[in-house]
Structure 1
């Protein structure tokens, strides 16, 4: 994973952070103006936006894109309550999508096939 300093020195325009909220907040706080900060953790989607990041490089959006877009619109319109409700509703679904362990400090997710997905999933095919 690139550190913020490495990313800036290497003339990168942004970074995808997969770590704690504290690490994410520190990167947003210290990043140069116009430097893009994304999370790679679906469960941090709302947190990233609230902290000042640009968004999520998301797995869950492939299945729950409409809901995630609605969450972002709610936040953009100042409705933090609705945005929070949507995020909380999505979090168990997001967690069910990925299984895996962190090995050597890197996340190695495994996608769960539709056959093994929880029965309470709702997939919107719009």
Structure 2
């Protein structure tokens, strides 16, 4: 399975407090029609932290069913509790996901030895391809290049990383130190092009929920050495990317999809609707860029 290009960190539509399966399947189909390279259900953007394990399994299963092997599916299955991460990974595996996105355990702030032990247990008890998710802004822990390289060498199931540090020096050191063939995906819409230039392979994106073709086209253009087109698309997406983070993700992107008529704008607590002044800013950004 080829894990390169633009992967959308899918939102999860809700209706009357429950998963809106119809809207979810339609969103997935639209993403594929627009040329997205892969999908990631049950990540931060998908509000997985508010779901039961049964719901998380259902959301992954629906995504895998709708995709029907046309593109890769990387299912969010991480936790700060190793036992829970094993159980969630087994759900992802049983649902037929191609890989599992594994966040570094948040709040606990494990040592490098603890991180390695965590991934060794995951590999032993729920073996499948893993993408390590390094997002210090959410977890309070920054997995350093040497630690990631060590995990990649000692746990072959860890085939790649989603890097959301926005630190290109660290990203460069990580690519330098990790084994050949290790997949590096950006976790920040703002830094996709710079990371590609360092040897990265793509992105797990928020903004591609609303502009899947644009993000996949940018990654493809760079891969085909059309750097002028890649740079043009990078700068075209910058204002849209900024609008996706005017409040906590996924509040803006889900609101945008509601404005586009893709789903109801519904959240689970503790997330609440966008502030009115930010809703105006978001609407203006979408209108100015021809999204609505």
Q: TM-score, normalised by structure 2?
A: 0.37
Shift of 1:35: 1.0
- Whether 1:15 and 2:161 are equivalent positions in the alignment is yes
Structure with greater contact order relative to length (CA < 8 Å, sep ≥ 6): 2
Match of 2:285 among 86, 106, 120: 120
Aligned position for 2:232 = 85
TM-score of the aligned structures, taking structure 1 as reference length:
0.79
Report if aligned partners of 1:48, 1:56 keep a CA contact under 8 Å in 2.
no
Rounded Cα–Cα distance in structure 2 between residues aligned with 1:47 and 1:93: 18
CA distance in 2, matches of 1:6, 1:99: 36
Equivalent in 221, 231, 240 of residue 74 of structure 1? 221
Runs of at least 5 residues in structure 2 that lack an aligned partner in the other structure: 1-133, 135-142, 260-278
Q: Deviations over 1:21-76 (max 9, x none)?
A: 11111111111011111111011111121111111111111111111122123222
**Aligned Cα root-mean-square deviation (Å):** 2.1
2:195 maps to 1:55: no
Q: Where do 4+ consecutive residues of structure 1 move more than 4 Å?
A: none
Paired with 2:243 and 2:285, the residues of 1 have a C-alpha distance of 11
8 Å contact from structure 2 (residues 208, 215) kept in 1: yes
State the alpha-carbon separation in 2 of the partners of residues 40 and 47 from structure 1. Answer: 12
Gaps of 5+ in 1: 101-107
Q: Report what 1:44 is aligned to.
A: 191
Instruction: State the distance in 1 between where 2:242 and 2:198 align.
Output: 22
The residue that corresponds to 1:103 in the other structure is none
Q: Which residue of 2 aligns with 1:111?
A: 251
SS at match of 1:57: strand
Q: SS of the residue aligned with 2:210?
A: helix
**What is the number of equivalent residue pairs in this alignment?**
117
